[in-house]
Amino acid sequence: MNNWVGMTEEQAGIVQKARKRVIESIGKNMDLYGVTLSTGHLYGMMFFQDKPMTLDEMGEEMGMSKTSMSTGVRTLTDLKMVHKVWEKGTRKDLYEVEPDWYQTFADFFVIKWQKSIEMNVQALRKSAAELKRLAESDPDNEALQNIVATDTRKLEEAIRYYLWLGRLIDTFESGEIFNLVPKEESQADSH
């Protein structure tokens, strides 16, 4: 995994244990967002690498097949958490983790929530249109009009929420979110 030269076996063991804890945590966290546990573990393992890795190296490190690694890397690439890099003299594809966790979160948030917004707003608008047509078909039915009016207000409020969420997503895409909620300054930046 890394160069352990210059460390005692005990020191290397402590480092490995600390890394394993973080890798497990990353895997569980990503699982909450619909990314498989093994793909989360792959991301965690790659996070601790000092250099880009090939699918073969990932498979060897993770004890998994190249096919599994390819699927995991494709998922991570689609989420913009890992990207392909070029290295002179290497024919195999190399991948590395996006080092900016703030940008990784922003990209992940945008990708996941945009799909949700589109799907939900479409369903809400379609239902609102159907209810409107239903109400227009029997304007003298007071019970129907009351139910349609109540449901329509609920649908309109939900649509307003998704439009707000869309504006929030815009702040992530533009980077404006970091003006509203500044990034933590790293120790390296403060010296």
- Own/partner contacts of 37-41, CB < 8 Å, gap of 24 or more, are 38/62, 38/64, 38/68, 38/72, 39/71, 39/72, 39/75, 39/76
Distances (CA, A) of 124 to 114, 116, 167, 169: 15, 12, 18, 19
Task: Quote the strand ranges of the chain, DSSP E.
Answer: 82-85, 94-97
Rounded to an integer, the average pLDDT of 147-167 is: 97
- Euclidean distance between CA atoms 83 and 153, whole angstroms: 44
Q: What pLDDT does residue 1 have?
A: 46
Query: How sure is the predictor about 2, in pLDDT bands with cuts at 50, 70 and 90?
Result: low
3-state secondary structure at position 139: coil
Length of the chain: 191
Q: Which pTM was predicted?
A: 0.74
* Token pair belonging to 185: 């300054």
pLDDT digits (tens, 9 = 90+) for 91-128: 899 999 998 889 888 988 898 889 899 999 999 999 99
pLDDT digits (tens, 9 = 90+) for 49-58: 989 999 999 9
pLDDT digits (tens, 9 = 90+) for 78-93: 999 999 998 888 889 9
Query: How much of the chain exceeds pLDDT 90, in percent?
Result: 73
